Chains A and B, each alone.
Chain A
Amino acid sequence: MSMFKKFSKKQTAAATHDPATFDGEYVLNVENLNVRFETDDATVYAVNGIDLKLKKKQTLGLVGETGAGKTTTVLSLLNLVPDPPGVVSADRIEVNGREVTKMSAAELQTMRGKEISMIFQDPMTSLNPVMTVGDQIAESILLHENVDKKTAAKLAGDMLETVGIPAERGSEYPHQFSGGMKQRVVIAIALACHPNILIADEPTTALDVTIQAQVLELMNGLKEKYQTSMVMITHDLGIVAETCDEVAVMYAGRIVEKGTLEDVFRRTKHPYTEGLFNSLPKMNDRSSKLTPIPGLVPDPTVIPEGCAFAERCPYAKESCFTKHPENRWVSDTHMVVCDAYDDPDFHIKRGR
């Protein structure tokens, strides 16, 4: 079966790379990432020139509406964008200092789960329904750690205990678990080999609010315990405030504003970020209506000539529709992509 040939190399053949010895500044370093999906009907431009950097033990929040390209961005870090139809190009996608796009299939398999792993959005569908949860955790351990099956099963049990599930439930199947428990299992799988980078793709979106809090608390604790760097994808600004050191706001496949949590939350610059904050329910005036951002996310099959947000932007000038906005650094840590700041007196209202 030649179709499997390129994957069937023994995994141990790949040079083992110990993330602990990596001493660069950034565990993740992405420059000019572009991802498009080419189908027969149209080309969808999902990610358009994104730069991302993540320091050791830091948590970066990736915020934006559904369809902003958050998931696609992180999938390309693991080289897991489905191809076809996905086409990924970038100047640089480095994980622990190594270029992902140049890795062989075997090298990628050694990296995934061991150096970088991912918690997926929907725990209901992210687990294999016909494998016991214990086996699903042990599978990862068997692949990356030099242990026998029995030890792997034991370690999988320990991992379940770590996420707050009795080890003996490892012999049960996903359908025997509740949603919150399943998400704990997904977290256990992701952390089974103690990767130094963890990607959490809306880990609590599918869960109800009380369970959300438990899962977040668990993740924060484990992040501390294993000294993990993390990318947290979410559209919940409350979660960002609780978990992140830095924030990048995405819109239509681009980062429109990024900075430290303080920068983005206290010194908001971009009109889109302002819109996100304004659309939050007001705690001290519960009878007031929500303030949505007017309009819809732009059609991802068309690359806009000017700023992608211009159509929905209350501050848009004529030039916004024709000219791409530039990256502006308003401080050492804070970047905004908006040409309104050509006018030195411009400031957004941000009336909360």
Chain B
Amino acid sequence: MWKYICKRIAVLIPLVFLVSFIVYALMDFAPGDPVRSLVGENMTEEQLEQKREELGFNDPLIVRYGRYMKGVFQGDFGKSMYGGKDVLTEYMSRLPYTLKLAGLAILLTIIIAIPLGVIAAVKHNSWIDTIASTTAMMGLSIPGFWLGLMLMLLFSLQLEWLPTSGAEDGIKSYIMPAITLAVANASLSTRTTRSSMLDQIRADYLRTARAKGVNEKTVILKHALRNALIPIITIIGSQFTVMFSGAVVVESVFSWPGVGNLTLTAIRGHDITAATSYAILTTVLTAVTLLAVDVLYAYIDPRIKAQYTGK
């Protein structure tokens, strides 16, 4: 098992190179002049050139990238072009907001999706199933930014219960962003739970359990659900990773001080170093989460564990 984990972590190194190079190069090729946007319009061409030389922008791409990566592997993720803040410190100060929001959204997803999906599967083709499936369909179809704005309109502007944006109001500020994120996630997870449970619900081993005298609740929750968990965890795990970076839309709708918004600002400002560093950090975080999901598989399904350990 440890061997497997080490192998997976080793794979991270080429992955970091790949991701960072792509982001670095793309940022460099993007139209616009980062130096000009940094120093402003009212500078002469000579002053600009001097600034470029000073910041090292005149070296070839590969040299600049190499210099940057050397720093990264020494733990120096560079400084932001604007204000000169340390990128890593900045990222780490924003990360808790993103993680807390993602965690809350995932918690909501699990609380809603798993019971609903299980009930829909057990009562297959009943009215509960129809309602659950239709609601899930709807939840998936609603765009996140629209739902966020509508919630804001109702709860912030009309009812004035919740703050419109930011994270300054404690738990109250988490409610709307978390719900917005959870709606789409829970919808997809409900559908996954339902179909995964349906695959198991006529399985022979459930009949064996019933023939033993196991009650229906245990048959469903202990025998069937555990076998149905792998696809469910896959979906929920990937939703979690998506929220590290992909909650950008929701983060910007709610002006959330998370890493999604931070990355977005760096990209908009043509801040190559910061954007690449954020991409690397998000990559590592995503890979580690996915690894955790894969390790979780092994605890749920001994057959997968056997594959990992090669037994």
Contact = CB atoms under 8 A, between A and B. Distances in A.
Given A3-B122, A120-B204, A175-B306, A129 B301 contact: yes
A113 B217 CA distance: 17
Interface string A130-172: 1100001001100110000000000000000000000000000
A4 B218 CA distance: 10
Contacts of B227: 128-130
B129 to A, nearest CB: 12
B227 to A, nearest CB: 6
Interface in A115-130: 117-118, 120, 122, 125-130
B215 A109 contact: yes
Contact of B205 (A78, A128, A176): A128
Contacts of A131: 223
A7 B207 contact: no
B216 to A, nearest CB: 4
Contact of B213 (A3, A109, A122, A128): A109
Interface in A50-99: 78, 80, 82
B203 A1 contact: no
A4 B213 contact: no
A143 B213 contact: yes
B217 A4 contact: yes
Contacts of B220: 4
B3 interface: no
Interface centre among A114, A122, A173 (most CB of B within 10 A): A173
B205 A8 contact: no
A106, A109, A128, A175 pick with most chain B CB within 10 angstroms: A128
Identify whether the interface residues of A are mostly helix, strand, loop, or mixed: helix
Interface residues of A, number: 40
Contact of B208 (A7, A128, A175): A128
Interface string B286-310: 0000000000000011110010000
Interface centre among B119, B203, B208, B217 (most CB of A within 10 A): B208
The size class of the interface chain B forms with chain A is 20 to 34
B215 A130 contact: no
A7 B216 contact: yes
A7 B215 contact: yes
Contact of A122 (B119, B204, B214, B216): B204
B213 A111 contact: yes
Contact of A126 (B122, B205, B213): B205
B11 interface: no
Interface in A161-200: 173, 175-176, 186, 189-190
Interface in B190-240: 202-205, 207-217, 220, 223, 226-227
B212 A189 contact: yes
B85 interface: no
A112 interface: yes
Nearest to A84: B125
A129 B303 contact: yes
Nearest to A116: B211
Nearest to A114: B213
B115 interface: yes
Nearest to B223: A128
A101 interface: no
Interface string B151-179: 00000000000000000000000000000
B220 to A, nearest CB: 8
A285 to B, nearest CB: 40
B100 interface: no
Q: Top 5 A-B pairs ranked by shortest CB distance?
A: A113-B213, A7-B216, A112-B213, A125-B204, A113-B212
Given A114-B213, A126-B204, 14 more contacts: A1-B115, A7-B215, A7-B216, A80-B210, A112-B210, A117-B211, A120-B204, A128-B227, A130-B227, A143-B214, A175-B303, A189-B208, A189-B212, A190-B211
13 contacts: A1-B115, A82-B202, A112-B211, A118-B211, A120-B208, A120-B211, A125-B203, A127-B205, A127-B208, A131-B223, A136-B208, A173-B302, A189-B208
